[in-house]
Amino acid sequence: MKHSVLMAMAFCATTATAQQKVESGPGAMLRGLDKVNGQTIDIEMQNGDTQPVFGLDVALGDCRYPADNPTGDAFAYLTIWEKGKADQLFDGWMIATSPALNALDHARYDVWVIRCITPSAD
CA distances from 12 to 24, 34, 50, 101, 107 (A): 22, 31, 31, 11, 28
In a domain, 98, yes or no: yes
Most confident of 1-5, 55-59, 84-88, 100-104: 55-59
The pLDDT of 34-47, averaged and rounded, is 97
**Residue range of the domain that includes 95:** 2-117
Does residue 93 lie in a domain region? yes
**Cα atoms found within 13 Å of the Cα of residue 44, Cβ hemisphere only:** 4
Residue 81, in any domain of the structure: yes
Looking at residue 120, its pLDDT comes to: 66
6 belongs to a structural domain:
yes
Per the structure, the count of domains in the chain is 1
CB of 90 within 8 A of CB of 75?
A: no
84: left (phi over 0), alpha (psi -120 to 50) or beta: left
Euclidean distance between CA atoms 79 and 62, whole angstroms: 11
Quickly state the pLDDT bin for 15 (edges 50, 70, 90).
Answer: very low
Which residue, among 73, 79, 96, has the nearest Cα to 23 in the 3D structure? Answer: 73
Whether residue 122 lies inside any domain: the answer is: no
Question: Could you tell me the pLDDT band of residue 11, with boundaries at 50, 70 and 90?
Answer: very low
Residue 119: band (very low, low, confident or very high) from pLDDT cuts 50, 70, 90: confident
Mean pLDDT of the chain: 85
90-99 pLDDT tens trace: 999 999 988 8
